[in-house]
């Protein structure tokens, strides 16, 4: 059977069909030459497929945090600069230079003071002068901050009933954390420290200092101001606060009440632009208080000198 009989259309018009096919193929070739990025775009689109086996690391505390204390911006006002454009710059008059001998002695003494700092869970109810706590908070507030926005609020609690309310909120939530949210690995890691959801120090210690970060602030005219690096700034402030507590001859515990932030913020009447970062019970150690026999890493393990 001939092509003329079997496919008369192809037999009669094959020159035109061949020409169209050649034109189409040539057009595709030149389009690829004109758009060399096509291959790159395809590779970019395919990249996520190659990395699907990789997972972002999320720490156990992040996984267990379900009651995230969300920061809300209601959009009610504009953000403006936190500092005046004509801010004055003045000579540095507070700096004092020491001899090399004095520098070595002072730095070594400060290291000894800080190296003696221990996290404590057992407190005396012995009163602490309020002025001491005021000075400690003032010291924490000397920390540097992004654009000098000072994005911290220190809520100091000494009222017995309020401390009991704080304890109730934390213990109720911590029991769920320990039994359901934290998982076997985390609770196993904490077991040698002999810690659980019972927090007696929250009512025994004469003071609780709750440190809130301010995601954004307000100027005197009611406009909002950005708080740059607010979390890092508050972390630095807390470090200075810990040093001040140790220098004053008191003890503390760095407590991060998991999933308690929203309830504590409400209890303490803090606004929605604030989030609880850390809670510090402050006071004297209880008589015969025990601490874990922990060792700190030596200098060569925590530093790199280039």
Question: Is the pLDDT confidence value at 120 over 90?
Answer: yes
User: What's the pTM?
Assistant: 0.78
For residues 10 and 23, the model is more confident at 23
Is there a single domain that holds both residue 18 and residue 135? no
Whether residue 304 lies inside any domain: the answer is no
Q: What is the CATH number for 218?
A: 3.40.109.10
Q: Which residues, other chains included, contact 208 with Cβ-Cβ below 8 Å and sequence gap of 6+? A: 156, 157, 158, 163, 166, 202, 279, 280, 281, 282
| In contact, 225 and 82? CB cutoff 8 Å | yes
Q: Which two tokens stand for residue 270?
A: 């803090």
Is there a single domain that holds both residue 89 and residue 11? no
Is there a single domain that holds both residue 95 and residue 146? yes
pLDDT, position 46? 47
Whether residue 153 lies inside any domain: the answer is yes
* Residue ranges making up the domain that contains 9: 3-50
Sign of the dihedral defined by the CA atoms of residues 65, 145, 141, 249, in that order: positive
Whether residue 167 lies inside any domain: the answer is yes
Whether residue 16 lies inside any domain: the answer is yes
Sign of the dihedral defined by the CA atoms of residues 67, 69, 70, 73, in that order: positive
pLDDT, position 40? 45
Q: How far apart are CA 82 and CA 213, in angstroms?
A: 16
Whether residue 301 lies inside any domain: the answer is no
CB atoms within 10 A of CB 108: 10
Whether residue 227 lies inside any domain: the answer is yes
Total structural domains in the chain? 2
For residues 160 and 25, the model is more confident at 160
Whether residue 95 lies inside any domain: the answer is yes
pLDDT, position 47? 46
Q: How far apart are CA 206 and CA 124, in angstroms?
A: 8
Question: Is the pLDDT confidence value at 39 over 60?
Answer: no
At which of 29, 50, 71 does a domain end?
50
What is the pLDDT confidence band of residue 186, given thresholds at 50, 70 and 90? confident
Is there a single domain that holds both residue 116 and residue 201? yes
Question: Is the pLDDT confidence value at 43 over 50?
Answer: no
pLDDT, position 83? 81
Is there a single domain that holds both residue 184 and residue 45? no
Is there a single domain that holds both residue 42 and residue 128? no
What is the pLDDT confidence band of residue 41, given thresholds at 50, 70 and 90? very low
pLDDT, position 42? 47
Is there a single domain that holds both residue 39 and residue 79? no
Q: Which of 44-53, 93-102, 212-221 has the highest mean pLDDT?
A: 93-102
Is there a single domain that holds both residue 192 and residue 267? yes
3-class DSSP string for the chain? CCHHHHCHHHHHHHHHHHHHHHHHHHHHHHHHHHCCHHHHHHHHHHHHHHCCCCCCCCCHHHHHCCCCCCCCCCCCCCECCCCCCCCCCCCCCCCCCCCHHHHHHHHHHHHHHHHCCCECCCECCCCCCHHHHHHHHHHHCCCCCHHHCCCEEEEEECCHHHHHHHHHHHHHHHHHHHHHHCHHHHHHHHHHHCCCCCCCHHHHCCEEEEEEEECEEECCCCCEEECCCHHHHHHHHHHHHHHHHHHCCCEECCECCCCCHHHHHHHCCCCCCEEEEEEEEEECECCCCCCCCCCCCCHHHHCCCC
pLDDT, mean of residues 26-33: 67
Q: How far apart are CA 229 and CA 215, in angstroms?
A: 9
What is the pLDDT confidence band of residue 81, given thresholds at 50, 70 and 90? confident
φ and ψ at 162, to 5 degrees?
A: -70, -40
Is there a single domain that holds both residue 133 and residue 65? yes
Burial of 186 (0-12, 13-18, 19+ CB in 10 A): middle
Is there a single domain that holds both residue 111 and residue 44? no
pLDDT, position 77? 64
Is there a single domain that holds both residue 46 and residue 84? no
Q: How many CA atoms lie within 13 A of 48 on its CB side?
A: 2
**Which of 256, 253, 290, 289 is CA-nearest to residue 275?**
256
**Which of 297, 290, 302 is CA-nearest to residue 118?**
290
| In contact, 77 and 225? CB cutoff 8 Å | no
> Of all residues in the chain, what percent carry a pLDDT higher than 70?
78
Q: How far apart are CA 305 and CA 183, in angstroms?
A: 38
pLDDT, position 45? 45
Q: How far apart are CA 128 and CA 269, in angstroms?
A: 25
pLDDT, mean of residues 131-154: 96
What is the pLDDT confidence band of residue 161, given thresholds at 50, 70 and 90? very high
Is there a single domain that holds both residue 43 and residue 101? no
Whether residue 177 lies inside any domain: the answer is yes
């Amino acid at each position: 059977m001939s092509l003329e009989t079997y496919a008369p259309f192809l037999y009669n018009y094959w020159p035109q069909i061949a020409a169209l096919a050649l034109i189409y193929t040539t057009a595709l070739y030149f389009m690829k030459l004109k758009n060399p990025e096509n291959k790159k775009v395809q590779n970019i689109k395919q990249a996520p497929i190659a990395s699907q086996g990789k997972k972002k690391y999320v720490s156990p505390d992040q996984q267990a945090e379900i009651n995230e204390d969300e920061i809300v911006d209601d959009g009610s006002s504009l953000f403006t600069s936190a500092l005046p454009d004509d801010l004055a710059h003045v000579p540095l008059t507070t700096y004092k230079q020491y001899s090399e001998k004095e520098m070595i002695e002072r730095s070594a003494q400060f290291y000894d003071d800080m190296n003696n700092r221990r996290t404590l869970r057992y407190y005396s109810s012995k009163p602490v002068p309020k002025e001491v706590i005021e000075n400690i908070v003032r010291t924490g507030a000397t920390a540097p901050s992004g654009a000098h926005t000072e994005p911290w609020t220190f809520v100091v609690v000494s009222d017995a009933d309020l401390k009991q309310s704080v304890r109730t909120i934390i213990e109720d939530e911590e029991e769920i954390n320990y039994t359901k949210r934290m998982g076997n690995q985390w609770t196993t890691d904490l077991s040698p420290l002999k810690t659980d959801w019972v927090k007696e120090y929250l009512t025994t210690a004469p003071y609780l200092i709750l440190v809130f970060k301010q995601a954004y602030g307000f100027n005197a005219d009611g406009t909002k101001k950005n708080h740059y690096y607010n979390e890092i700034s508050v972390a630095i402030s807390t470090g200075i606060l810990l040093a001040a507590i140790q220098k004053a001859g008191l003890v503390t515990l760095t407590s991060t009440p998991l999933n308690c932030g929203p309830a504590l913020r409400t209890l303490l009447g803090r606004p929605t632009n604030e989030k609880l970062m850390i809670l510090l019970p402050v006071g004297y150690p209880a008589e015969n208080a025990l601490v874990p026999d922990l060792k700190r890493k030596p200098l060569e393990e925590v530093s790199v000198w280039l």
